[in-house]
Amino acid sequence: MTQHLVDPRAPRDLTAFIAELPKAELHVHHVGSASPRIVSELAARHPDSKVPTDPAALVDYFTFTDFAHFIEVYLSVVDLIRTPEDVRLLTYEVARDLARQQVRYAELTITPFSSTRRGIDERAFMDAIEDARKAAESEFGTVLRWCFDIPGEAGLEAAEETTRLATDDRLRPEGLVSFGLGGPEVGVPRPQFKPYFDRAIAAGLHSVPHAGETTGPETVWDALTHLRAERIGHGTSSAQDPKLLAHLAEHRIALEVCPTSNIATRAVRTLDEHPIKEFVEAGVVVTINSDDPPMFGTDLDNEYAVAARLLGLDERGLAELAKNAVEVSFLDAAGKARIKGEIDTYTAGWLDR
């Protein structure tokens, strides 16, 4: 919501190109995607909350002093989601915002533990997200898939509950494709989650933990070694370790880069210091994502504009970035071919104007 984070230096013509470019979003959080309108509506329903009811006041509320402050604010918004109908509405509105940006496919990170521990019935929770997923696909043409993440700081109880919800055949939603680990990294060692990731992977889920967002490259190594990560959420500190960069490149383990998020949570000081260019130069597959867009005053289009500036990309370069995301997504082969074809057709048409 911190509007000043929107990059004013994106060239106008690329902004127009990006706006209509078909895209995939691989790293975006469910609650962190609630629009100011939805957040203020929910806050008005719950006067006991400290979340502002005036959307304009959210700009200040969503200005973070550090990562811990971000998580504290994030949890105050989580506290506003109290019924299955809140969950359904939030999910549907998030899909509408994605569709407006020509997002054809999104993997949305959901933290079911946060909802079930706040008293939302687990069956009703699954039905709510699935109902919204199906409505989004038929009404907006946006395909949604879920990543269920463990809120690491909540400990092994949260890990057990998340794993149960993700692997119990009677509960597991049809749209679930992957298993993650989020929240603070400091004091939350990745190896302790190995048994839970082992169970999720055995149940057919892909491994996509956050790592190297707020700690060093050793956390990324831990995510690879112990959690068998197939993609890394953020992975920012990988730039400090050339061997790690070479490993990520060789094994095509993509980084889900979220530049504006890293500035908003103060994980990186300025956009110009963001290591995205080092990743690309090392041959690492980079995808561009928005993380918690309204909280960070951004959206996926703005993240592509930021990437264009930091990487010096033109339309073809942006189309390649968009195709990277499709390629390393967990969509089926036919779906990937369809969206990549759309990207190529759109780009060729734009350049032929």
Ligand X SMILES: O=C(O)c1cccc(C(=O)CC[C@H]2O[C@@H](n3cnc4c(=O)[nH]cnc43)[C@H](O)[C@@H]2O)c1
Residues known to be catalytic: 213
How many angstroms separate the CA atoms of 107 and 110, rounded?
9
Q: What long-range pairs does 185-192 form, CB within 8 A, spacing at least 24?
A: 185/152, 185/210, 185/211, 185/212, 185/213, 185/214, 185/215, 185/219, 186/214, 186/215, 187/153, 188/152, 188/153, 189/222, 190/219, 190/222, 190/223, 190/226, 190/227, 191/222, 191/226, 192/156, 192/159
Q: Contact between 160 and ligand X (CB under 6 A)?
A: no
Residue 54 to residues 57, 71, 76: CA-CA distances in angstroms? 5, 21, 15
Q: What is the DSSP letter of 211?
A: E
**Partner from Zn ion, ligand X, none contacting 102, C-beta within 5 to 8 A by type:** none
Q: Which of 261, 287, 289, 298 binds ligand X (CB under 6 A)?
A: 261
* Contacting ligand X within 291-320 (CB under 6 A): 291-292
Which one, 266 or 338, has the nearer CB to Zn ion?
Answer: 266
| In the complex, least distance from residue 289 CB atom to Zn ion, rounded to whole angstroms | 8
Considering only residues 212 through 241, tell me which ones interact with ligand X, judged by CB under 6 A.
Answer: 213
Q: Which does 213 bind (CB under 5 to 8 A by kind): Zn ion, ligand X, none?
A: ligand X
Q: What is the phi/psi pair of residue 320, to 5°?
A: -65, -40
Question: Tokens standing for 240?
Answer: 């400090």
DSSP 152: G
Q: How far is the CB of 182 from ligand X (least distance, A)?
A: 3
Q: Which of 86, 230, 291, 303 binds Zn ion (CB under 5 A)?
A: 291
Is 182 one of the binding residues for ligand X (CB under 6 A)?
Answer: yes
Comparing CB distances to ligand X, the nearer of 41 and 153 is 153
Q: Which is nearer to ligand X, 35 or 114 (CB)?
A: 114
Q: Which residues, in sequence order, are CB contacts of 136 under 8 Å at separation 6+?
A: 91, 92, 95, 96, 99, 142, 144
Stretches 47-55, 88-96, 108-116, 170-178: which one binds ligand X (CB under 6 A)? 108-116
d(CA 212, CA 236): 5
Site for Zn ion in 233-252 (CB under 5 A): none
Q: Give the relative orientation of helices 300-311 and 12-20 as an angle to the nearest 10 degrees.
A: 130
Binding-site member from 17, 62, 74, 330 for ligand X (CB under 6 A): 74
Q: Which stretch binds ligand X (CB under 6 A): 92-100, 145-153, 197-205, 269-277?
A: 145-153
Q: Which one, 29 or 226, has the nearer CB to ligand X? A: 29
Least distance between Zn ion and beta carbon 254 (Å): 14
Report if residue 109 touches ligand X, rule: CB under 6 A: yes
Exposed/middle/buried for residue 250 (C-beta within 10 Å: 0-12, 13-18, 19+): exposed
Check binding of 29 to ligand X (CB under 6 A): yes
Q: If contact means CB under 5 to 8 A according to the sort of partner, which of ligand X, Zn ion, none does residue 71 touch?
A: ligand X
- In order of 64, 187, 254, 264, the CA distances from 71 in angstroms are 9, 15, 25, 12
- Contact residues toward Zn ion (CB under 5 A) are 291
Residues that bind ligand X (CB under 6 A): 29, 32, 71, 74-75, 78, 109, 111, 114, 117, 149, 151, 153-154, 182-183, 210, 213, 261, 291-292
